[in-house]
Amino acid sequence: MKSTSIGRFQLSLTAAVIGATLSMLALPTAAQQAMQPMAIERATILSKPGVFGVFTMFKLRPDWNKVPTAERKGAADEVKKLIEKHKDNVLVDLYLTRGLETNSDFFFRINAYDLEKAQAFMREFRSTTIGKNADVFETLVGVTKPLNYISKDKSPALNAGLSSATYSGPAPRYVIVIPVKKNAEWWNMSPEDRLKEMEVHTTPTLAYLVNVKRKLYHSTGLDDTDFITYFETDDLTAFNNLMLSLAQVKENKFHVRWGNPTTLGTIHSPEDVVKALAE
Amino acid sequence: MKSTSIGRFQLSLTAAVIGATLSMLALPTAAQQAMQPMAIERATILSKPGVFGVFTMFKLRPDWNKVPTAERKGAADEVKKLIEKHKDNVLVDLYLTRGLETNSDFFFRINAYDLEKAQAFMREFRSTTIGKNADVFETLVGVTKPLNYISKDKSPALNAGLSSATYSGPAPRYVIVIPVKKNAEWWNMSPEDRLKEMEVHTTPTLAYLVNVKRKLYHSTGLDDTDFITYFETDDLTAFNNLMLSLAQVKENKFHVRWGNPTTLGTIHSPEDVVKALAE
Amino acid sequence: MKSTSIGRFQLSLTAAVIGATLSMLALPTAAQQAMQPMAIERATILSKPGVFGVFTMFKLRPDWNKVPTAERKGAADEVKKLIEKHKDNVLVDLYLTRGLETNSDFFFRINAYDLEKAQAFMREFRSTTIGKNADVFETLVGVTKPLNYISKDKSPALNAGLSSATYSGPAPRYVIVIPVKKNAEWWNMSPEDRLKEMEVHTTPTLAYLVNVKRKLYHSTGLDDTDFITYFETDDLTAFNNLMLSLAQVKENKFHVRWGNPTTLGTIHSPEDVVKALAE
Amino acid sequence: MKSTSIGRFQLSLTAAVIGATLSMLALPTAAQQAMQPMAIERATILSKPGVFGVFTMFKLRPDWNKVPTAERKGAADEVKKLIEKHKDNVLVDLYLTRGLETNSDFFFRINAYDLEKAQAFMREFRSTTIGKNADVFETLVGVTKPLNYISKDKSPALNAGLSSATYSGPAPRYVIVIPVKKNAEWWNMSPEDRLKEMEVHTTPTLAYLVNVKRKLYHSTGLDDTDFITYFETDDLTAFNNLMLSLAQVKENKFHVRWGNPTTLGTIHSPEDVVKALAE
Amino acid sequence: MKSTSIGRFQLSLTAAVIGATLSMLALPTAAQQAMQPMAIERATILSKPGVFGVFTMFKLRPDWNKVPTAERKGAADEVKKLIEKHKDNVLVDLYLTRGLETNSDFFFRINAYDLEKAQAFMREFRSTTIGKNADVFETLVGVTKPLNYISKDKSPALNAGLSSATYSGPAPRYVIVIPVKKNAEWWNMSPEDRLKEMEVHTTPTLAYLVNVKRKLYHSTGLDDTDFITYFETDDLTAFNNLMLSLAQVKENKFHVRWGNPTTLGTIHSPEDVVKALAE
């Protein structure tokens, strides 16, 4: 079991949006950084803005059962080597959903400074033994941005609250990915009104800093969603309560997509995921 | 035919929510219990909070007809042994839907204190003869919680009503599973207003304690539904009337999902289900 | 060509609901009758309450074309024998939709006093030559109930109108099945207001007693629909006009499902349907 | 390239409805005519009321590429012979959509006085070489009715306008089929109010009589649409402008389906369509 | 990597509509031009009105992996020759989406003065090695029109703004295609009110002329969308910000489709796309 450390928790699901749009002309430094060749370091890439996230959910075809056992058993090693080959370009996480989801058996989260590099990795995966025997059920593409709504300037008390506690539970065993899309009424609200609703949204979530890790990717125009929200936890009842508290604020009235699909999986090393599916 | 006894009937479909969210910081004992190694005892696991329920609907592929008869006939024994192997981790129920449903031929309900254990069982099932020849059509994941709205404290008269009658019909032959999702308007109502609507919801259902058994799982954030409602009955006309009475209260105006799919099956032992499909 | 006689026309599509829910505690005699072993007599079973209807739409797979001709030709006889075997348990109607529908080539209507018996028949059909080569596209399950809204007590004039004319056209050649689901606003109306709207709904339909036969099954909670409406006619322009008159009343504003799918087929003996598909 | 002549242009998409429903008891002569054995004459059948239209969209399966070339080449002749065989029962048009549509490669429009005859043709087509290698993606069934809203009596000026110009462009090379469904609010409007909106709908369309041919089938209750609108043109920019003008009138606010699918194809003889697909 | 030059940027997504509909009787010259035989010149065809655009998204079937390596390797050359053969009829662009999209691996954009010519190319592609092993997931058909809302006459200041800056970033590596459909309320607004909203829509987009290229096709009546919006960029964070700014204007409240699918791919020569998929 792998303990994924997320350098910096982004509590507010959509907090980064307004600032980004207001400061968009001053911001392209993030995009420029994305072009710089740099070795992939987990803690760094998971805390930077301007990083692309590609989530790809796969479902094994029935033919997978007919692949000779030896070839199936070799699949984990093949994937391990592919990850090694691309280690200077992408950070690869692989999760197991078989048994918990209808439409997927496993899914990737690829983090990359350059989206073309993420595409290259996913394309090569499709030519591996397991990749050739799996169908893509869902792909979500997003990019990280600086914290926006609940920033030091705009909402100092809540911003401090977000730093007042860190995850202190057991190593997370579960991962949840939930795409979020908001309607035109939300986007047509003034930045001040959206900030206000995001503060109401954020307040009840402080209590869950200790048992749920979170990360946010922005997707408007890159995919048919506005955000990809990513969570890790070891306490699914706490997570259920966190989601209920987010359902109970006014911001929820502006959602046109919240899930669809919600993807729930377990956290393992990439090799262990492939091995579990090759049994 | 198997008579499934549910230790404690949870009449109100959504009654457990408010209490759970209000007391969430005090509640993690349930989640901690889930980690304890304990033998699976049907009456106990079906009455505890903090228990995960995984519902998985399967449809046999046409290739199933081409599996040699002997192998097909052996499938029931194979499933029986798998259930035996996992008996300290999960409680397994298996139901027959072929002939009554479009998209499934059978479905599992797995109850487990630890969700990873349920995943492990379902994953291994996929490698059995029948599992390899079936597609997953639907998976629903939820967790049980203490009774909430109609509790002794908040609604004493109705709470007493819920204990005033118990199932007295013939052993149920039918099972129905109905996912339920509520809109943002519902979740934005005050707890008091939701309690009031749940009381209106509960009143007409008391008459059906004698002929319909019920159980509730909570799913917000774990799946694209808020609740999984599970029913057993021998009187489908009474069940139809119960559902009509629930359609006629104001709470129904807040549903965005009520069914889709509604799954109706018959109750048998796991072996009998597999045998019926192997004929 | 077979002339299907429906013992008693139920003009009002949803007329039976209110009475049934009001008298639900006194009603279980219908469910009890369903348990009685009794020979299946067409006119009787088609006029009783407490009878289950299972509609199953099938589409032949491309592989059907590869089944050896002799085997395909024998399929009609095989289905005939299966119907004969189950004749004490279920009434079987089979209709031809190939050429008129996208997603089905034929469909069954099974009437049974005991739903498990209908399931058993449909399950065994799946093991026949034609059943093994067909996919289920849609299954609808419902139960008949006594006339409700337009009863002698509540709406005597319209009730008399319903008996004032009977079908007098040529033997119907066409069958139409349309599922109907109503929204929460409808079910939250008072019984008096719903009765009033059902009277407005019923009035313009009296003119079509002479050329359209109708039958109603109730499905709330048994399936993702509230009603299954079944029609036979030889005059499709008249049927189109009947449906337009039902579109023009206020009740239509409460529909959330009216069709989806609408299924239009032709009426033949079961053997002739299978023979037509085996050509 | 075939020049399809439509005997009588029906400009108003829904103009025929009110009159038909008001005069429904006097109308069955059209249905009776449908029973009369009569040779199929293109100009006649395309101008009569009481004629059934069956639209069937087909997509070739990948296996089509594996059919031996000679067999594929013979497919056009086989279809030609089938059309010849049924020439006294149905009028057959076949259009090419491969390259312009996602879900179809070709589609049929069958006109028949007797719907069972159209079913028989489509059923036999399914047993031809090309029919066996194609999946049905969409079927739409409708019936023609006399002009209704914009009649000589109700709207004399516009009715005259409809006769004031005829198609004068090059032989149409393109065909477009668009199903239309209206909501309960539309059907609950008074006939006078609907007539008024249809007049507003009709006025801007007069300018397009010269470059777009149109035909209307009524489908309420026969299929999950209210109308099938059929167009032929050689000027797709003009057609785009016609559709924009129809989008800009109040009637458009009552549409719940307008397209889904919109089908765009090219006009050829049936043999040329099959030949093009057999290359 | 290929640098696609778009002769004239059309900033406003829907700016061309009103003018086109108002001047429709005077406009057919564009349609007439479409008939003229003329060699295809990239800069010219990409800047003219009356040009048809056909977008076709393809997904390789699993069988593609079983095609012998030599045959797969030859696919790029085969596609190159097909493009050469049709070079006097169509302009062909091919993009790579594998790794970034769920339902496609590559997609075509065909520009043609005559739609039948585009159909002919796409039809012949289906008979190539790669075409025979791919399924169509989406087809979008549209036509270019003269700029409308933000014209020199109607909105001179903004029209000048559109010419005040040109793309100055690195050669675009990414392509995005987003279909747009507006509701009946939008189309029922007066031309003046729509112009006003398009001005509000256009203002915040001027800042992105330097880093996002755009092109617009009109589809009402030709397909189930009103517009096809096409973008090229090298800065996806800027593109995300551009889309957010378009989400924040009132015009967004009238969208019923904005994406579904959003297609994101990378820009290469056609041969490189096929080679990448043949590896």
Q: Give contacts of E64 with chain A, Cβ < 8 Å.
A: none
Cα gap D235→D210, rounded to integer Å: 10
Q: Does E136 touch chain D (CB under 8 A)?
A: yes
Give residues 87 to 106 of E whose Cβ lies within 8 Å of A: 96, 98-103
Query: Phi and psi (nearest 5°) for C137?
Result: -100, -35
Query: Phi and psi (nearest 5°) for C234?
Result: -110, -5
The least confident of A83-87, A271-275, B178-182, E21-25 is E21-25
* CB nearest to D264's CB, from E24, E50, E141: E141
- Best mutation target, A21, A25, A33, A52, to test chain E (most E CBs within 10 A): A21
| Residue (of B106, A223, B255, D212) closest to E262 by Cα position | A223
Can you read off the two tokens belonging to residue B154?
């908040």
Residue C186's closest chain B neighbor by CA?
B248
- Mind telling me how many Å the CA of E165 is from chain D's nearest CA? 31
Q: What is the pLDDT of residues D170-217, one digit of tens each?
A: 999 999 999 999 999 999 999 999 999 999 999 999 999 999 999 999
Q: Give contacts of A132 with chain E, Cβ < 8 Å.
A: 62, 65
Cα gap E110→E112, rounded to integer Å: 6
The DSSP bridge partners found for residue C55 are C109, C140
Cα gap A172→B169, rounded to integer Å: 45
Burial of C188 (0-12, 13-18, 19+ CB in 10 A): middle
The least confident of A18-22, A240-244, B250-254 is A18-22
Q: Does D118 touch chain C (CB under 8 A)?
A: yes
- In 3-state terms, what secondary structure has residue B43? helix
Q: Does D173 touch chain C (CB under 8 A)?
A: no
* CB nearest to C30's CB, from B207, B237, B244: B237
| Neighboring chains of E (3 or more beta-carbon pairs < 8 A) | A, D
Q: ipTM of this complex > 0.90?
A: no
Q: What is the pLDDT of residues D129-183, one digit of tens each?
A: 999 999 999 999 999 999 889 999 999 999 999 988 899 999 999 999 999 999 9
> Are the C-beta atoms of residues A73 and A63 closer than 8 Å to each other?
no
The DSSP bridge partners found for residue E179 are E228
Q: What is the pLDDT of residues B141-171, one digit of tens each?
A: 999 999 889 999 999 999 999 988 899 999 9
> Are the C-beta atoms of residues D94 and D270 closer than 8 Å to each other?
yes
The DSSP bridge partners found for residue C98 are C101
What's the pLDDT score for residue C279?
Answer: 86
Q: Is the dihedral of CA E76, E78, E84, E87 positive or negative?
A: negative
The least confident of A11-15, A229-233, D213-217 is A11-15
Can you read off the two tokens belonging to residue E210?
């330097």
Residue range B179-202: mean pLDDT, rounded: 98
Query: Crossing angle for the helix pair B69-85 and B115-125, nearest 10 degrees?
Result: 160
Distance, C-alpha A47 to centroid of its chain: 12
Give residues 213 to 252 of D whose Cβ lies within 8 Å of C: 218-224
pLDDT at D21 over 90: no
| Residue (of E176, E231, E184) closest to E208 by Cα position | E231
Cα gap C196→C155, rounded to integer Å: 9
Give the helix/strand (H/E) hosting C218: strand C212-218
> Are the C-beta atoms of residues E217 and E239 closer than 8 Å to each other?
no
| Neighboring chains of B (3 or more beta-carbon pairs < 8 A) | A, C
Give DSSP secondary structure letters for B195-237. HHHHHHHHGGGGGGTTTEEEEEEE-BTTBSSSEEEEEEES-HH
The DSSP bridge partners found for residue E107 are E57, E95
Cβ <8 Å between A237 and B17: no
Cβ <8 Å between A244 and B30: no
Cα gap E259→E257, rounded to integer Å: 6
Can you read off the two tokens belonging to residue B218?
């909570």
pLDDT at A265 over 80: yes
Q: Do chains C and B touch (3 or more CB pairs under 8 A)?
A: yes
Q: Which pTM does this prediction carry?
A: 0.89
| Residue (of C142, A53, D191) closest to B262 by Cα position | C142
> Are the C-beta atoms of residues D118 and D54 closer than 8 Å to each other?
yes
pLDDT at E180 over 70: yes
Cα gap A149→A158, rounded to integer Å: 10
- Quote the strand ranges of E144-211, DSSP E: 174-182
pLDDT at D5 over 70: no
Can you read off the two tokens belonging to residue E88?
């006097």
Give residues 2 to 31 of D whose Cβ lies within 8 Å of C: 17, 20-21, 24-25, 27-28, 30-31
> Are the C-beta atoms of residues B241 and C21 closer than 8 Å to each other?
yes
Cα gap D179→E261, rounded to integer Å: 22
Cα gap B256→A52, rounded to integer Å: 33
Q: What is the pLDDT of residues A69-105, one digit of tens each?
A: 999 999 999 999 999 999 999 999 999 999 999 999 9
- The type of residue at D24 is M
| Residue (of C47, C93, C123) closest to C265 by Cα position | C93
- In 3-state terms, what secondary structure has residue D263? strand
Cα gap B201→B208, rounded to integer Å: 13
Report whether the peptide linkage leading into residue A261 is cis, meaning its omega lies within 30 degrees of zero. Answer: yes
- The band of E38, judged by pLDDT with boundaries at 50, 70 and 90, is low
| Residue (of D99, D115, D98, D119) closest to D107 by Cα position | D98
Q: What is the pLDDT of residues C260-272, one digit of tens each?
A: 999 999 999 999 9
Q: What is the pLDDT of residues E152-163, one digit of tens each?
A: 999 999 999 998
Cα gap D51→D34, rounded to integer Å: 7
- Mind telling me how many Å the CA of D261 is from chain C's nearest CA? 13
E183 C-beta neighbours (distance < 10 Å), count: 17
Q: Is the dihedral of CA C158, C163, C165, C167 positive or negative?
A: positive
B169 C-beta neighbours (distance < 10 Å), count: 16
Mean pLDDT of chain C: 89
Give the helix/strand (H/E) hosting A181: strand A174-182
- The type of residue at B115 is L
B256 C-beta neighbours (distance < 10 Å), count: 14
When computed from its CA atoms, the radius of gyration of chain C, rounded to whole angstroms, is 19
